[in-house]
Amino acid sequence: MGVKQAIKSLDAFPRAEEHLLQKTRSGALVSVIGLVIMATLFLHELTYYFHTYTVHQMSVDLTRGQTLPIHINVTFPSLPCDVLSVDAIDMSGKHEVDLDTNIWKLRLNSHGQIIGTEYLSDLVEKEHTHDHDDKEHHHDLEQKLHSHGFDEEAENMIKKVKQAVTNGEGCRVYGILDVQRVAGNFHISVHGLNILVAQMIFEGAKHVNVSHIIHDLSFGPKYPGIHNPLDGTERILHESSGIFKYYIKIVPTEYRYISKEVLPTNQFSVTEYFSPMNDLDRSWPG
């Protein structure tokens, strides 16, 4: 007896004699249904075996002295880059104005296209000069500037910004801001301007359009399934102005992969407020 016949003879259950078997359509249907059910159960169990799920655990954060990275990507379609500044202050009183830690400004035209790039501590692209036909307007502006005692540099800056506002320029601010891991706040606003300069440029706080689009605001690297509640937020103002405030509560988070690799990051929740400007307000929008 060959090997093939020996293997065929191995059977845990005795087979019925051929003359005792009867093949029917209903029996074939039952066999097919049984095979489909077995295949479905096999695929389901295999999928479940390879599927990963997240287990949430809470513990006390014992880390101290670390910095908090703030990832910023915000577009201001109606404010030129020259008037925007990024500043932060924490509960210890440390105040940093126009922070220059890996923050970039992209100049945008009225169609949202990039026309210039600026690093907060270094001008990457040279200034673009434009020809102006309205000489009489600039002559009146020069007289106003001299009457307020501005130097030539301030005068040139005001002229440049007013022209940018007229052209409908915007600005996109993006990068990483490293701050102390304590309670505090940071602003992207026109607060870095001298009050008289801001008054000369916008002719009043109510004319500062702080419309903005938040493409990304996060506090650390992203992990699968993370949800940042402010991503994609659009706040567009029409013929009005005000102060947008976002109160954020940050929760330190560690994401542990199956490979035991640990990714330290942060989640957050947010509450939003908007205060419209009126004629009696002395503060400036942001």
Read off the pLDDT band of 163 (50, 70, 90).
confident
Residue 40 has pLDDT above 90, yes or no: yes
pLDDT of residue 124: 31
- Residue 124 CA to residue 224 CA, distance in Å, equals 35
Structure tokens belonging to residue 143: 């007289």
Least confident of 145-159, 171-185, 231-245: 145-159
* Neighbouring residues of 71: CB distance < 8 A, sequence distance ≥ 6: 175, 176, 216, 217, 218, 219, 220
What are the tens digits of pLDDT across the range 47-72? Answer: 988 887 777 777 777 777 778 888 99
For the chain, what is the mean pLDDT?
77
Maximum mean pLDDT: which of 27-31, 121-125, 129-133, 152-156: 27-31
Mean pLDDT, rounded, for 181-186: 82
Residue 188 has pLDDT above 50, yes or no: yes
Least confident of 96-105, 155-164, 231-240, 251-260: 96-105
Residue 258 has pLDDT above 60, yes or no: yes
pLDDT of residue 132: 41
- Residue 151 CA to residue 40 CA, distance in Å, equals 80
Residue 134 has pLDDT above 50, yes or no: no
- Residue 206 CA to residue 209 CA, distance in Å, equals 8
Give how far Cα 153 sits from Cα of 83, 140, 189, Å.
15, 17, 22
pLDDT of residue 84: 83
Mean pLDDT, rounded, for 168-189: 84
Mean pLDDT, rounded, for 248-266: 87
Enumerate the β-bridge partners of residue 72. Answer: 175, 217
Structure tokens belonging to residue 205: 């706080």
Residue 283 has pLDDT above 80, yes or no: no
Nearest to 253 by CA among 101, 63, 52: 63
Read off the pLDDT band of 281 (50, 70, 90).
low
Scan for tokens 């102390």, then name that residue: 180
- Among left, alpha and beta (phi > 0; psi -120 to 50; other), residue 135 is alpha
Least confident of 27-31, 106-110, 145-149, 162-166: 145-149
* Neighbouring residues of 10: CB distance < 8 A, sequence distance ≥ 6: none
Higher pLDDT, 98 or 8: 8
Residue 139 has pLDDT above 60, yes or no: no
pLDDT of residue 94: 62
Q: Are 268 and 252 in contact (CB under 8 A)?
A: no
pLDDT of residue 99: 52
- Residue 79 CA to residue 211 CA, distance in Å, equals 8
Structure tokens belonging to residue 252: 């330190």
pLDDT of residue 279: 66
User: What are the residue boundaries of the structural domains of the chain, listed by start?
Assistant: 67-276
Structure tokens belonging to residue 263: 């990714």
What are the tens digits of pLDDT across the range 15-39? Answer: 666 766 777 888 888 889 999 999 9
Higher pLDDT, 126 or 278: 278
